[in-house]
Copies of this chain bind each other. A is one copy, B any other.
Amino acid sequence: MNDIENYLQKHEERFIRDLCEYVRFPSVSAQPHHRKDLTACAEWLLGRCQKIGLEATLCQTAGNPVVLARTPRKKSIRRPHFLLYGHYDVQPPEPFDLWKSPPFEPTVKGRSLFGRGASDNKGQHLAHLNAIEAYLKTGTELPCDITFVIEGEEEVGSTHLAHFLQQHRAALRCEAVVISDTSLLGPKYPALTYALRGICAVEIKLHGPSRDLHSGLFGGSLDNPAMALCQVLAQLRDKNGRVTVPGFYDDVKPLLPSERKELARQPFSERAYQRFLGVPKLFGEKGFIPIEQRSARPTLEINGLTSGYQGEGSKTIIPAWASAKLTMRLVPNQTPNRTRKLVLQHLRKICPPTVRMELHAGHGGEPYFVSPDSEHAQAALRALRKAFGAEPVLMREGGSIPIVNDFKKILKADTLLLGLALPDDNAHSPNEKFDLDMFARGMRMSAHLWQELAAATK
């Protein structure tokens, strides 16, 4: 490990230059005119992989290519195999005028490297690549086989990744997947994210009269679909912040006292959080702290409301219809299908007979959970401890990362989420940055990780 440590230290400046080169590619997957930049970016990454001694190929898909790179295999030894997933595509940089330095001209200020994609996700998987470089260049034997899967469509829904995994299923069979694409809480709070919420979407439209009606001539003698919608939706959540759909919480795996204790350990100021959100007062399910409410408890949210006249001034109508978009965030062991069914059933039940209800089921994604007590999770925690010199935090994240379920379904492998982004890294926002200390820590964490993971594999 000393050799590796020395190597990483010695090449620190060059690693930063490399990252700058990488960030310079405007690999924006959402914008078709950047198609060539994506290919160029993938080719640059391919070159990097080959240069450090990985067997790397560019795999064409129906969309952007996937960079597939593996550590040289030793025929004589059967070693455990791990996958490292990342993505070289980035979010659109707009609005440009809010950037303090151009998004694709990487700029180092102090210990921050500014640029679109610096932390999401180029810097994070490059840290892993640098660790492997240190192994290979110092002639240190790797305790396991590692395959990098770096795709170019994460920011547009990983459209072709599941198909890619199916195609390469045999070669990708592995003990576990590692992803550094989440957050830690601060330099002294490295984190393992062991749970994500799932999601399911529903659209509701209430039809009243066959056309907008004059509210003077007709108002009072028929139901108003906008009012009916408000009265239906208002019944879905109570004063204690509980979703009132019968059966909604039936499948929710309760938080263990030990887990709640762990979550409560996270540094968190309600006052600062309230100010950050910009709300006059926090609100959530009674009996849970905000950290639990936003990550470990299911929700039902209205994402949009539409009815009648929305322009300036007033238009005295009874709208012909009113609609709402809803999403539910799910926690283990809820499923999108069952939750959607419960919500649709309940909506049908409480809809008044004075309007006609139209319901549409939207997309869904399973919640994700990997026990922090598993051998691999414990191994990851040890690597974090060694690299950061601090006790790692066990985190749940409230969002969804659909690919982890693809890894589970297709490769039967659990995913370890070991994020290197700081909460203020501005992912998806102007002035995205990556902290160079986290970059350095990430390389060391990665170096330890493969040792720990291999040792933990029977």
**Most chain B CB within a 10 A radius of its CB, from A213, A220, A278, A285:** A220
Q: What chain B residues lie within 8 Å of A315 (beta carbons)?
A: 303-304, 325
Q: What chain B residues lie within 8 Å of A317 (beta carbons)?
A: 303
User: In the complex, what distance in Å separates the CA atom of A72 from the CA atom of B229?
Assistant: 60
A395 CB, nearest partner CB in chain B, Å:
12
1/0 contact trace for A139-172 toward B, CB 8 Å? Answer: 0000000000000000000000000000000000
Q: What chain B residues lie within 8 Å of A285 (beta carbons)?
A: 220
Q: A213-B277, A217-B399 are in contact. Are A302 and B307 (CB under 8 A)?
A: yes
Q: What chain B residues lie within 8 Å of A299 (beta carbons)?
A: 215, 219-220
Q: What chain B residues lie within 8 Å of A277 (beta carbons)?
A: 209-210, 213, 218, 221-222
User: In the complex, what distance in Å separates the CA atom of A16 from the CA atom of B222?
Assistant: 39
Closest residue of B by beta carbon distance from A289: B221
**Most chain B CB within a 10 A radius of its CB, from A217, A298, A319, A362:** A217
Q: What chain B residues lie within 8 Å of A399 (beta carbons)?
A: 214, 216-217
User: In the complex, what distance in Å separates the CA atom of A235 from the CA atom of B233?
Assistant: 12
Contact (Cβ within 8 A) B231 A234: yes
Give the bracket for the number of chain A residues in contact with chain B: 35 or more
Q: Is A127 an interface residue (CB 8 A)?
A: no
Stretch at the interface among A348-356, A377-385, A435-443: A348-356
Q: What chain B residues lie within 8 Å of A291 (beta carbons)?
A: 221
User: In the complex, what distance in Å separates the CA atom of A3 from the CA atom of B439?
Assistant: 104
- Cβ-neighbour of A303 out of B211, B229, B290, B319 (below 8 A): B319
Q: What chain B residues lie within 8 Å of A216 (beta carbons)?
A: 197, 199, 329, 397-400
A199 CB, nearest partner CB in chain B, Å:
7
A29 CB, nearest partner CB in chain B, Å:
18
Copies of this chain: 2
Contact (Cβ within 8 A) B313 A303: no
A166 CB, nearest partner CB in chain B, Å:
25
A98 CB, nearest partner CB in chain B, Å:
12
Contact (Cβ within 8 A) A283 B233: no
Q: What chain B residues lie within 8 Å of A400 (beta carbons)?
A: 216
Q: Which of A224-265 contact B (CB under 8 A)?
A: 224, 226-227, 229-231, 233-237, 241
**Most chain B CB within a 10 A radius of its CB, from A217, A234, A293, A303:** A303
- Cβ-neighbour of A327 out of B303, B305, B316 (below 8 A): B316
A304 CB, nearest partner CB in chain B, Å:
4
- Cβ-neighbour of A398 out of B220, B273, B280 (below 8 A): B220
Contact (Cβ within 8 A) A297 B227: no
Contact (Cβ within 8 A) A354 B227: no
A131 CB, nearest partner CB in chain B, Å:
28
Q: Which of A387-433 contact B (CB under 8 A)?
A: 397-400
Contact (Cβ within 8 A) B290 A219: no
Q: Is A2 an interface residue (CB 8 A)?
A: no
Q: Is A48 an interface residue (CB 8 A)?
A: no
User: In the complex, what distance in Å separates the CA atom of A434 from the CA atom of B209?
Assistant: 26
Q: Is A282 an interface residue (CB 8 A)?
A: yes
Q: List 29 A-B contacts (CB under 8 A).
A: A209-B277, A210-B278, A215-B301, A215-B303, A219-B299, A220-B284, A220-B295, A220-B298, A221-B282, A221-B291, A223-B279, A224-B301, A226-B233, A227-B233, A227-B236, A227-B301, A230-B230, A230-B231, A230-B302, A233-B234, A234-B235, A301-B318, A302-B319, A303-B308, A303-B315, A303-B317, A304-B307, A305-B307, A314-B362
- 5 closest residue pairs by CB, A with B: A210-B278, A216-B399, A234-B234, A304-B308, A226-B302
